[in-house]
Chain A
Amino acid sequence: MTSAIPLAITLAYVVIALVIGLRARGGRSMQALEEWGVAGRSMNAVVLYLLIGAGSISAYTFMGAPGWAYSKGVPVFYVVIYLSYLAIVAWYFGPKVWEFGARFGHVTQASAIADRYESAALGALAAFVMSIGTLAYAVLQTIGSAYILNVMSGGKIPVWAGVTLVLGVMAIYLYVSGQRAIGLTNAFQGALMLMVAWAIGLWATHAFTGQWWFGDIFTRFKAERPEFLTLPGAGGDMSFAFWTTSIIVSMLSFMPPVWTQWMSARSKQTIRTSATWLPTYYVVILPMVVVGFIGVFSLPNLARADTVALEMALASMPVVLTGLLGAGTLAAAMSSCEPFIHSAALTYAKDILQPAFKLSNAATGRLARMLLIPIMALIVAPVAITEPANLIMILLIGLGFAAQVLPAFIGMFFWPRASKVGVTAGIVAGFALTVLFTVVFKNPLGIHAGFWGLMLNLPVFVAVSLKTRPASADVTARFFAIARRF
């Protein structure tokens, strides 16, 4: 690539994100953990809509969704379905989580777990193990960011420099403005992604068919490659069982940053309003998927399926569109990365270090902000630069574990009799089976490993809970005064 315009557009996006992130503070003090961690519970419905929407559309979705369409076809649409179900999860649980936070002072998911089960140790355990998946996810997004900068610069920005640039920019505005920076930058990134995805998708469709809608593309698939239009897809690996269990496991993975987003809302009604309209955001996926389908005919010999959109841009799109694709993909990566790093810093400080060293709230607030730097410099950056081959495996195990924390939430929202020993036993049993079925016997019978983990986890959780002492009556009473409302 010879033009400097795509790189200039991509870097312009980085500068704009930095300015928005810095201005998000708006003169407020970030000393209090509630201000830096959950934006003083102040976000309105529009910001929350774009925050959750953009946060769930990662670089993997922006690059991986076209890649899945290119290699498998319609199986990619399970993502649209589970994201819609996640909106329903947000609609039901979000207002309750918000009320827990506002009434009981929680700013993290693990602090709610510690409070419900009267166990700082269980909270610390949940915080630590959830952070494995959280940080693996952040590393993947950082790798995606560095890759985009490398491609847009024609190789002039090496991976280490791209990682440093992206993390450095995020570190500055996260330190200064905390969750407020995440809210406003994600709002900008979410709007940018929506615009870029449709511009790219419609341009590619028009260039390929002369039409502005996708009908001719799929009519050709029906005639020449019908296996792309049905399950199990062209790869033959998305069975009904794997489709269904992937949706269920993804829907039940309550990741900590999502919890933090709910607690950042201005009110319970704000969460309901944004969750109600949230599924509409996922029209962002359709045009990018169509780009992947077009690639099946126009770029039939790609070595890596997830580069199909970028390769198409570099081969045939106007330089401005190529730059917008770079900016949009970088926005997708950063909008997913920053909440995960912020969440890890917040939970390490609040749920592990504060109880361990009996820190004051003020000291914990300062510590959370400081922790951003070592987390980025000592964990995210080195791992991202080395680009480990088994990172996807780490992420899958991390997400598999996220689903295994389900008993903690069942005991918080549905079953007062749940005990901390039951929750711990369920998590340990479920996690062990998930690891076994991810690493050794991969997804037996075509069923997602995390789903197998839950099949063991839930009976163990119930049986052990019934045999052990539940939390005290006043704790269950105050939680279920909120949880029982429907």
Chain B
Amino acid sequence: MKQGIVLPTTRRGWVLFVLFIALIAAGCWPLIALVNHARVVFGLPLITVWAYAIVLASVVLMVIANRLLGAGEREDSHD
């Protein structure tokens, strides 16, 4: 039994891992400071638009991940 830390084992897994980390960073400092302005966009405060952009990006990223994992699982089943 390997005792090392669990990390992605495929290129797909690494791409998803980096994208998920980037998405989490998008909601935190220092990136949140970039949208910390008293501006109104689409009728909403800029930070609100950013928060809901993260909501949308979360859904899109998980949809992509489902497709990639689905493809990976199909490939695995052919092996």
Question: Which residues of chain A have a CB within 8 Å of any CB of chain B?
Answer: 73-74, 77-78, 80-82, 84-85, 87-88, 91-92, 213-215, 218-219, 221-222, 226-227, 229-231, 240-241, 243-244, 247-248, 251, 272-273, 275-277, 279-280, 282-283, 286, 413-417, 470, 473, 476-477, 480, 483-484, 486
Contacts and interface: CB of A to CB of B under 8 A. Distances in A.
B40 A222 contact: yes
A78 to B, nearest CB: 8
Interface string B9-38: 110010011001001100111101100111
A213 B40 CA distance: 13
Contacts of B45: 73-74, 218, 221, 229
B55 A280 contact: yes
Contacts of B2: 416, 480
Among B9, B20, B59, residue most surrounded by chain A Cβ atoms (within 10 Å): B59
Contacts, number: 130
Given A91-B62, A215-B43, A279-B55, A231 B24 contact: no
Interface size class of B (residues with CB under 8 A): 35 or more
A279 B58 contact: yes
Interface of B: 1-6, 8-10, 13, 16-17, 20, 23-24, 27-30, 32-33, 36-40, 42-48, 51-52, 54-56, 58-59, 61-63, 65-66
B40 A219 contact: yes
A interface: dominant SS: helix
A486 B16 CA distance: 9
A222 B45 CA distance: 9
B54 A416 contact: no
Contact of B1 (A243, A276, A473): A473
B23 to A, nearest CB: 7
Contacts of B23: 88
A428 B28 CA distance: 28
The 9 lowest CB-CB distance pairs between A and B, nearest first, are: A215-B43, A226-B38, A240-B29, A276-B62, A81-B27, A229-B38, A77-B51, A244-B28, A279-B55
